[in-house]
Amino acid sequence: RVSSDGKPPKFQPPPKPVIIDRRTQKEEMRFLSPEFIPPRGRTAPLKYYIERKDMIQRRKVFNIPEFYVGDVLAVTTANPYASDKSSRFVGICIQRGGKGLGATFVLRNVIEDQGVEICYELYSPRIQAIEVLKLEKRLDENLMYLRDALPEYSTFDVNMKPVPRMDHEEIPVNKVQVRMKPKPWSKRWERPKYNIKGIKFELPEHKMQAAQKWSQPWLEFDMLREYDTSKIEEKIRKEVSEELEK
Amino acid sequence: SITGACRAIQKLTRVRVVDNSALGNTPYHRPPKCIHVYNKTGVGKVGDKILLAIKGEKKKALIVGHKMPGPNMTPRFDSNNVVLIEDSGNPIGTRIKTPIPYTLRRREGEFSKILAIARNFV
């Protein structure tokens, strides 16, 4: 730089580099399982508080990993009728339902050309282990359309090895567009009420436009249906992380 | 199957025979249909015996899986599966490739021969 004097400018040391360690930052934004968030209603919060205490108690004894709809899990349950008294099932999680202790998740797999789905209860004492073999998200929250998709999209090897994953990486989103069997399907997935983004619709244009007849564009602006969970989530997340650390 | 409704097996449901018997696997122009359920209610669940009409004959069969969702932790199959059986309870086929639910093991006495020919359990 040109100074007013003509003498060389005063030495300014270069600015110190700011090191942002992403690993420590990500630990604060921990995943909160969706069954902790109470549903929208007029029930007393005390009921949900007591349920949460029981859920945390179970989580201290048994580790329930973080998983999403669309990832592959292997669940070992205690079964009095199985050899070795325990049975293992591997499948893709297509739905997570229920709140509180009755939270469930449905795993789907195709074994010997037969599609099998099992609905497991997360907090059931019969479950002995839950392993996440492949952690990933999909474009939709509900993958029930896999029942009407070609079986190759629901087949997963029973002896597949867990896919290694670093702790601080973002959860990958699998943007696969699933191809469907010919219609009729169990539900009319092309209708806007299901809002499915993960299907490659090979239907003619006029059918897709006819399906838009059932769209309800006013629903997203309906104020009586609003349920903002951000503040409730923050409180519950703090509560849960404090209790789990004890 | 053509219809998508999720119900258990009752009269006139089309079923899928899963063992390797000749009667169940030879093609015929009509699918095997249930004509009677041996139950107080007419609705058949896993482990119930039914009467099937296959290839113009009547045959008894045992339900080993249906499309209707059952109690939690039990499997739900994508087709209504059935194993052909004699009146005495002996299976006609010699092998069952499709997975069978573990809940059938509870009645080991009646179904021991069918469980013996089953390969995979779910």
Query: CATH number, domain at A155?
Result: 2.30.30.790
Write out pLDDT tens, residues B63-118.
999 999 999 999 999 999 999 999 999 999 999 999 999 999 999 899 999 999 99
Residue B3 has pLDDT above 70, yes or no: no
pTM of the model: 0.87
Å between B98 CA and nearest CA of chain A: 6
Asked if the structure places residue B91 within a domain, the reply is: yes
Output the pLDDT for position A82.
Answer: 85
Domain that holds residue A159: 34-174
Å between A242 CA and nearest CA of chain B: 32
Asked if the structure places residue B73 within a domain, the reply is: yes
Asked if the structure places residue A88 within a domain, the reply is: yes
Query: Is residue B44 a contact partner of residue B26, using CB atoms and an 8 Å limit?
Result: no
Residues of B in contact with A114 (CB under 8 A): 18, 65, 77-79, 81, 98-99
Give the pair of three-digit tokens for residue B120: 């995979």
Interface membership of B4 toward A (CB under 8 Å): yes
Asked if the structure places residue A229 within a domain, the reply is: no
Output the pLDDT for position A170.
Answer: 83
Per-residue pLDDT of chain A (246 residues), as tens digits, is: 555 667 788 888 888 888 777 666 555 557 899 999 999 989 999 999 999 999 999 999 999 999 999 999 999 999 998 888 899 999 999 999 999 999 999 999 999 999 999 999 999 999 999 999 999 999 999 999 999 999 999 999 999 999 888 777 788 999 999 999 998 999 999 999 999 999 999 999 999 999 999 999 999 999 999 999 999 999 999 999 998 888
Question: What is the interface size between A and B, counted as CB pairs within 8 Å?
Answer: 66
CA angle B115/B121/B122 to nearest 5° reads 140
Output the pLDDT for position B1.
Answer: 45
CA A104 to CA A98: how far, in whole Å?
Answer: 6
Write out pLDDT tens, residues B44-78.
999 999 999 999 999 999 999 999 999 999 999 99
Helices A45-61/A230-245 angle, 10° precision: 40
CATH of the domain at B63: 2.40.150.20
Annotate B74-105 with DSSP letters as a single string. SEEESS-EEEEE-TTS-BSSS-B-S-B-GGGG
CA B68 to CA B79: how far, in whole Å?
Answer: 9
Annotate B31-50 with DSSP letters as a single string. --EEEEE-SSSS-B-TT-EE
Q: Which residues of A touch B (CB under 8 A)?
A: 77, 79, 81-82, 87, 89, 104, 111-121, 124, 126, 147, 184-187
Output the pLDDT for position B96.
Answer: 94
Write out pLDDT tens, residues B28-42.
999 999 999 999 999
Output the pLDDT for position B16.
Answer: 94
How many structural domains are present in chain A?
Answer: 1
Asked if the structure places residue B2 within a domain, the reply is: no
Output the pLDDT for position A194.
Answer: 93
Query: In angstroms, what CA-CA distances link A28 with A14, A119, A132, A232, B36?
Result: 32, 32, 22, 17, 61
Asked if the structure places residue B82 within a domain, the reply is: yes
Give the pair of three-digit tokens for residue A116: 């099998």
Disruptive mutation site among B18, B73, B104, B108 for chain A (greatest number of A CBs within 10 Å):
B73
Disruptive mutation site among A76, A81, A158 for chain B (greatest number of B CBs within 10 Å):
A81
Domain that holds residue B65: 9-117
Closest CB from A89, A114, A119 relative to B69: A119
Asked if the structure places residue A80 within a domain, the reply is: yes
How many structural domains are present in chain B?
Answer: 1
Asked if the structure places residue A188 within a domain, the reply is: no
Residues 6+ apart with CB under 8 A from A71: A92, A93, A132, A133, A134, A135, A136, A137
Interface membership of B107 toward A (CB under 8 Å): no
> Would you tell me which residues 5-44 of chain B have a C-beta closer than 8 angstroms to some C-beta of chain A?
6, 18
Place of tokens 């609905």: A119
Asked if the structure places residue B100 within a domain, the reply is: yes
- The residues facing A174 across adjacent strands are A138
